[in-house]
Amino acid sequence: MPEFKRLKLNLVRPVPSDYEISRNQTPKHITEVAKECGIEDAECEPYGAYKAKVKLDILDRLHSKKNGKYILVTGITPTPLGEGKSTTTVGLAQSLGSNFNKLAFANVRQPSMGPTFGVKGGAAGGGYSQVIPMDEFNMHITGDIHAVGMANNLLAAALDTRMFHENTQTDKALWKRLCPEKKDGSRDIPQGLFPRIRKLGLDSKPVSEWTDEEISKFVRLNIDPSTITWKRVVDCNDRFLRGITVGTAPTEKGQTRETGFDITVASEVMAIMALSNSLKDMRERLGKMVVASSTTGEPVTCEDLGCAGALTAIMKDAIKPNIMQTLEGTPVFVHAGPFANISIGASSILADKIALKLAGVPFNASPEEEREDSGYVITEAGFDFTMGGERFLNIKCRASGLTPDVIVIVATVRALKVHGGGAEVRAGAPLPFEYTSENVEMLREGCSNLAKHIQNARQYGADVIVAINRMSSDTDREHDVIKEISLAAGATDAIVSNHWEQGGEGAAALAQGVIRCAHREYPSQQGRPKEFNFLYETEGSSIEEKIEAIAKKMYGAAEVEFLPAAQEKIKEYTAQGFSNLPICIAKTQYSFSHDAKLKGVPSGYKFPIRDIKASIGAGYLYALAAEIQTIPGLATKCGFMNVEVNDDGEIEGLF
Amino acid sequence: MPEFKRLKLNLVRPVPSDYEISRNQTPKHITEVAKECGIEDAECEPYGAYKAKVKLDILDRLHSKKNGKYILVTGITPTPLGEGKSTTTVGLAQSLGSNFNKLAFANVRQPSMGPTFGVKGGAAGGGYSQVIPMDEFNMHITGDIHAVGMANNLLAAALDTRMFHENTQTDKALWKRLCPEKKDGSRDIPQGLFPRIRKLGLDSKPVSEWTDEEISKFVRLNIDPSTITWKRVVDCNDRFLRGITVGTAPTEKGQTRETGFDITVASEVMAIMALSNSLKDMRERLGKMVVASSTTGEPVTCEDLGCAGALTAIMKDAIKPNIMQTLEGTPVFVHAGPFANISIGASSILADKIALKLAGVPFNASPEEEREDSGYVITEAGFDFTMGGERFLNIKCRASGLTPDVIVIVATVRALKVHGGGAEVRAGAPLPFEYTSENVEMLREGCSNLAKHIQNARQYGADVIVAINRMSSDTDREHDVIKEISLAAGATDAIVSNHWEQGGEGAAALAQGVIRCAHREYPSQQGRPKEFNFLYETEGSSIEEKIEAIAKKMYGAAEVEFLPAAQEKIKEYTAQGFSNLPICIAKTQYSFSHDAKLKGVPSGYKFPIRDIKASIGAGYLYALAAEIQTIPGLATKCGFMNVEVNDDGEIEGLF
């Protein structure tokens, strides 16, 4: 394994724009980055000079290695400006690589292109803690989101067309067309329909002996149009597709239907990509996706439509994680980006697993060797700890079998002041006075929010490090208050980090703390065994019990109110056998509660569940505590209006 | 430049399935293929092991080279079974490379994934003349079609949302939001809106001096919804999106609109990708795309919406041609795939230009050196000569400045018998008797169709070689008839080819003929100067005159009837200044005429033009002589139902 070649930073003040910083750094060729991580040539598929896919069979080769250290980065309840989780993830990895010579991966989500051209611009960290090249990171990467969209939309087309054909043909005609008679009198049954034959128990007798009733059962899915949950997707902020009527052309003979589009990252296929442990696992999950119920109340799946093999074929390259690099040349896995608003908001299990093996030590390494040689995988969960972290632990970790060694909670003085009663903070508007000058009282008040997140993380038994993401107007006294309250709430340490302005160097103290914490070297860790507990059991507890566990133990609600639509769904999913799945709760990220206005640590409130939906293939139910917009819109002035390609073929104005 | 390494074929009888043949061949690594063509490492961006993009700056390096020989492959009026144009394109290239040691490129279109999962399965030649790996060829390749879809749909979202914002805001609010006031009182005008400022002549005075009327003119596009021609696209056979109502969600406040989706390859963005000569040219064409008219009848463009830079950014990698290889390891460019039904149905100009330079000789090469060293670029045009070839010559060649050295017209005994009065031939149905046994009379009668295509090609001054694509039931007497009639009609030669069954070896006689013809060595070419004439002039002739030229001189129509909708469009486009563009006529491919039932050489008929549409950025108008379905549907039994991914991660059942 060649030695890590650090890319030197040329730190400039004031910090230039993200894109300027990105463009002024010359990345290594991606094959060099891959080699430095221990990825063999045959396992690496470059896509251009700065991106590559890593083949899944690398897991077989590294099977016997012990995993590296698994570090989860989460945050406190944020402001709309964001508190720097991605920046911290990247900066921490840069420091571990550059300052401590550890093999350290930053594992992040692939951004959706919709918002890139909408309001927000790109996202890959920021300042001197970034994934580069930033334009490639924010555009297609290796096309995974496109593959997700194709797979999602093929299933949608198959669903609507199947209903059309069932509505316009007799059983006999459907049978003749679906399974045409061959010259020898036998039937040509498409491979993809065998699972349905088995599901119906029809594989026990020869096709020639099927009764008319059995043939009818096989050829008709009898989908109840009012139960369809599958929508089409597009990776664009196209608000006019939120609600659409399809089938209005004369060729569809009046079979119109109300439906809509989601943004591609909201597709269940994306969640499956994030939560699959192998190609085979993905194949099975795609088959299990439920798209509707039949008129008799049975779930209709992707497998029933004969689509699961084709969707797997479309996704067979997308499931391989993508490797890129940070500004300092440390490796980054960018893979999957399920929509945090309704899904887990975390990058893929396979990226984490591959990185953990690459960062790992031989199975027989001594504790001293492990301390010296172990690498680190810094993986990010969307939103705050109590939303993103909870989902990460109860859904992603349950699916992967992995548990984090350290949980980092990112906090800023600014956001904590909001929780202490500061004025509203809005993107684009100037910051009120309390945020640009010292205010220890307000900060101390707001630290209750941080303390609750720490206590929530400690409920899982995890070791917590607070990362104080430094801003220029912060004072030492303010940082001291955060440290004091963090330790009192159960954090192992609280450390100021200045990676945005200084890159890895600025995160060196944080990195040192993470290393010590991961190897349990803090005095407070001594004599306390390493543990990990899920918040709730999936088997044997009802849907209501699981939701209550999250709402009460994590969000601080006094009780949960299940509105009628939710009650009905609970009945339906329980009857369909889906009550043993973990739960993803969709709510605002701007409060512990369902009400974005409730800052600090709200308590004693009633938490409403309006509706429950299912992602059976991905393996969870999601409960809606708010109206969640699943496709954003474009503003009057949009990001795209500033984008141009210059004469050198470089993108300008994207960030 | 390393020597060409031929991949040996292991010919098996009967010929196995296309996918079996593809899978049994081990392709070279794509970087090896690229090196053998003279592509330098820095010019080649591999996407996995078997596909790569070639950077456009290769054209600067090879600028001074003379082009290689440019061979256009077209066909006679086909049957629904296809007569083997792609197979001939690939087989001919294999033979030139393998049997004659010439650098020979096959340049083909990227297939749409919609039909791949619909009825027809993949398409990359067939038998022993194929592009490999076939599964990769038929799936995403390097994501170009996805980029086209993204670009197309961002523009659609921008269009609908712009109308929404204009309908719900005052001039003042639009102005404030589009160009917010900065701290110093000046306006922050997005870069992408400058072209509109120049178009309106507002760049001559400072923004602060704009009158309210001028501000209104700038902020309001005043799009007339009834004139919108821009549709959304999806790369899927989703018939329920043919007609849709958008904007039915409450957030869109009742601003619904009737529209629909096309298949992605039907997007004007795809046609632009095929017809652009450089990144800059593409940028300009994208800006010129007309999406609607304003309420005062002026064209509203992508540039007016401030979208052209962003679309270019999305397309900046897609414009680089993709290189793959044939079964025998010869190079293939796969780039762009504009929908033949309404667009040019040819691969990209840039792929042809790069291939021609790579296949070329030094500028000062002697005729003898050129004869010895020149390579060949075999490029295919969709449909028959009289549709695809005509568009290739009058639209693509006009945009590129290139002209073909040889036109190959592919003919089969089977299709010629259809034109001689044989029974209807249908996919999936057994062939009637006349097609499986000798019938010289019927064949001779049908050769009129071939003769007309040859005569049509000769109108451009081009040299024509007829490729008789051999099938097992053909007889020598039948081949002799075709040869005799071809020569009489003006072809330079007519040569039997058996590449489907034998690969390059089977096309050796054809390759020999093409070499001789390209270097004008046939006795019939002596003393006849090389020439090339367009069928019509674009400047100074009216839209009607151009359409009449095509319908009368190519299709054999007696007169053209312009129906009312077409007449109106002619008026509109002429007023808007678009009458100088070349014309693409959309009609059935199964007859010279607009009526698929008229076989042979129909004449004396009235050719109807129902409507005319515009692809201003791509640079042509298209006239509809038929109702053209721009998004296919799925049948009861679909291709996707047979697709599976096996335990080795290989796709099964796609072909």
| Residue A531 within any structural domain of the chain | no
Residue A302 near chain B (CB below 8 Å): no
Share of chain B above pLDDT 90, in %: 90
Q: Is the pLDDT of residue B138 over 80?
A: yes
- Establish if B189 touches chain A: CB-CB under 8 angstroms: no
> Cα dihedral sign for B365, B371, B373, B374?
positive
Does the beta carbon of B239 lie under 8 angstroms from any beta carbon of chain A?
yes
- Say whether both A77 and A162 belong to one domain: no
Would you call B192 and A157 a contact, using CB atoms and an 8 Å cutoff? no
**Burial level of A527, CB count in 10 A (0-12/13-18/19+)?**
exposed
Q: Which residues of B touch A653 (CB under 8 A)?
A: 191, 309
| Average pLDDT value for residue range B50-72 | 97
Q: B250-261 pLDDT, tens per residue?
A: 999 999 999 999
DSSP B248-282: -SGGGTT--EEE-EEEGGGSHHHHHHHH-SSHHHH
As a whole number of angstroms, the distance between CA A147 and CA B312 comes to 21
Give the confidence band of A123 by pLDDT, cuts at 50, 70, 90. low
Interfacial A residues in 42-101 facing B (CB < 8 Å):
45-49, 53, 56
Judge if B164 and B220 occupy the same domain.
yes
CA–CA min distance A310, chain B (Å): 5
> Do A453 and A408 form a contact (C-beta atoms < 8 A)?
no
Instruction: State how far the alpha carbon of A469 is from the alpha carbons of A166, A426, A456, A500, B189, in Å.
Output: 58, 19, 20, 8, 33
Residue B508 has pLDDT above 90, yes or no: yes
Residue B46: strand pairing partners:
B52
Number of other residues whose CB lies within 10 A of the CB of residue A624 = 23
Tell me, what's the pLDDT at A120?
A: 58
Where residue B2 falls among pLDDT bands split at 50, 70, 90? confident
Tell if the CB–CB gap between A232 and B234 is shorter than 8 Å: yes
Distance CA A140, CA B142 (A): 10
CATH number for the domain that contains residue B417: 3.40.50.300
Domain closes at, from B264, B297, B315: B315
Contact A376, A68 (CB under 8 A): yes
Contacts of A173 (CB under 8 A, 6+ apart): none
Helix segments in A401-475, DSSP class H: 413-419, 440-458
Nearest to A236 among B157, B179, B653 (CB): B157
Distance from CA of A279 to the nearest CA of B (A): 7
The pLDDT, as a whole number, for residue B655 is 65
The answer to whether B191 contacts A140, with C-beta atoms less than 8 Å apart, is no
d(CA B601, CA B452): 7
CA distance linking residue B384 with residue B599, whole number of Å: 13
For residue B237, is it within any domain?
A: yes
Could B45 and A45 be called an inter-chain contact, meaning their C-beta atoms sit closer than 8 Å?
Answer: no
Neighboring chain A residues of B260 at a CB cutoff of 8 Å: 248-249
Distance between B235 CA and the closest CA of chain A, angstroms: 7
DSSP letters, A302-353, are TTTTT-HHHHHHHHTTTTSPEEEEETTS-EEEE-----TTTS--B--HHHHH
Claim to verify: residue A376 and residue A449 sit in the same structural domain: yes
Q: Give residue A51's pLDDT.
A: 97
Rg (CA), chain B: 26
Average pLDDT, chain A: 95
Same domain, A106 and A165: no
Residue B102 confidence (pLDDT) above 60: yes
Distance CA A592, CA A598 (A): 8
Say whether pLDDT at A570 is over 70: yes
With contact defined as beta carbons under 8 Å apart, do A114 and A267 qualify? no
CA atoms B73, B79, B82, B84: torsion sign? negative
Shortest CA gap B564–chain A (Å): 22
Chain B from 242 to 281: CB within 8 A of any A CB: 242-252, 255, 257-258, 260, 279-280
**Best mutation target, A189, A240, A269, A278, to test chain B (most B CBs within 10 A):** A240
Q: List the single range of A430-434, B268-272, B299-303 with lowest mean pLDDT.
A: A430-434
Residue finishing a domain among A271, A288, A314: A314
Nearest neighbour of A640 by CB, restricted to B140, B154, B249 = B154
Cβ neighbors of B9 (< 8 A, separation 6 or more) are B25, B128, B327, B328, B503, B504, B505
Q: Is the pLDDT of residue A122 over 60?
A: no
The answer for B 145-164 residues in CB contact with A (under 8 A) is 146-147, 149-150, 153-154, 156-158, 160-161, 164
Does position A655 have pLDDT exceeding 70, yes or no?
Answer: no
Q: For residue A49, which residues of chain B lie inside 8 Å, CB to CB?
A: 45
Same domain, B458 and B480: yes
- Which residues of chain A have a CB within 8 Å of the CB of B113? 150, 314
Residue B420 forms part of a structural domain: yes
The answer as to whether B361 is a domain residue is yes
What are A5-23's pLDDT values in tens digits? Answer: 999 999 999 999 888 899 9
User: Is A632 domain-assigned?
Assistant: no
Tokens of B122: 């993949």
- B201 occurs within a structural domain: yes
CA distance B611 to B625: 8
Domain carrying residue A201: 145-314
When divided into structural domains, chain B yields a total of: 3
What mean pLDDT comes out for the span A592-599? 96
A452 touches chain B (CB under 8 A): no
Model confidence band, residue B340 (pLDDT cutoffs 50, 70, 90): confident
Q: Which residues of A touch B637 (CB under 8 A)?
A: 177-180, 190
Q: How many CB pairs under 8 A join A and B?
A: 288
Whether chain B has a CB inside 8 Å of the CB on A117: the answer is: yes
Interface test with A, best of B44, B145, B232, B240 (most A CBs within 10 A): B240
Query: Is B102 near chain A, with CB under 8 Å?
Result: no
Contacts of A283 in chain B (CB under 8 A): 645
Determine whether the interchain pair B239/A249 forms a contact, defined as Cβ–Cβ distance below 8 Å.
Answer: yes
Contact B637 A235 (CB under 8 A): no
Q: Of A521, A556, A585, at which residue does a domain stop?
A: A521
Check whether residue A350 and residue A410 sit in a common domain: yes
Tell me, yes or no, whether B264 and B155 share the same domain.
yes
Strand partners for A301: A290
CATH number, residue A300: 3.30.1510.10
The pLDDT > 70 percentage for chain A reads 99
- ipTM for the assembly: 0.95
pLDDT at B120: 58
User: How much is the pLDDT for B236?
Assistant: 96
Q: Can you give the CATH number for the domain in which B561 is found?
A: 3.10.410.10
- Say whether B634 and A158 touch across the interface (CB within 8 A): yes
B242 inside domain: yes
Residue percentage of chain B with pLDDT more than 70: 99
Residues A405 and A421 in one domain: yes
In this structure, are A203 and A228 located in the same domain? yes
Token digits for A241? Answer: 């597709």
Taking CB atoms and an 8 Å cutoff, what residues of chain B touch A240?
Answer: 157, 160-161, 164, 246-247, 252, 255, 257
More confident residue, A67 or B638: A67
Whether residues B157 and A645 touch (CB distance < 8 A) is answered with no
Residue of A nearest to B55 (CA): A48
B399-to-A294, B58, B270, B429, B619 alpha-carbon distances in Å: 54, 20, 15, 42, 8
Residue B616: both structure tokens together? 């201003």
> For the segment A603-646, what is each residue's pLDDT rounded down to a tens digit?
999 999 999 999 999 999 999 998 889 999 999 999 899 999 99
Residues of chain A neighbouring B52 (CB-CB closer than 8 A): none
Distance CA A483, CA A479 (A): 6
For residue A426, what pLDDT is reported?
87
Q: In the predicted model, what is the mean pLDDT of residues A407-430?
A: 93
Q: Once rounded to an integer, what is the mean pLDDT over residues B167-172?
A: 97
Strand order in the sheet with B583-586: B583-586, B620-624, B611-615
d(CA A622, CA A641): 36
Cβ-Cβ contacts under 8 Å, B160 against chain A? 238-240
Is some CB atom of chain A closer than 8 A to the CB atom of B373?
A: no
**Statement to judge: residues A366 and A427 lie in one domain:** yes
Is B453 in the same domain as B342?
yes
A313:B257 CB<8 A: no
On whether both B354 and B279 belong to a single domain, the answer is: no
Asked, for residue A655, whether it belongs to a domain, the answer is: no
Q: Which residues of B touch A285 (CB under 8 A)?
A: none
Residues 6+ apart with CB under 8 A from A19: A122, A134, A135, A654, A655
Looking at residue B123, its pLDDT comes to 65
Helix-then-strand count for chain B, H and E? 24, 25
Which residues of A fall within a CB distance of 8 Å from B309? 640, 642-645, 652-653
- The CA distances from residue B80 to B130, B131, B342, B555, in Å, are 20, 22, 18, 20
> What's the pLDDT score for residue B1?
73
What is the predicted pLDDT for the residue at B502? 97
Q: Do A306 and B641 touch (CB under 8 A)?
A: yes
Residue B633: its chain A contacts at CB < 8 A?
A: 161, 251
Centroid of chain to Cα A137 = 16
The mean per-residue pLDDT over the stretch B277-294 comes to: 98
Lookup: tokens for A19: 């894109």
Q: For chain B, positions 608-637, list CB contacts with chain A under 8 A.
A: 629, 633-637
What's the whole-number average pLDDT of chain B?
Answer: 95
Which chain B positions have a beta carbon within 8 Å of A56's beta carbon? 649
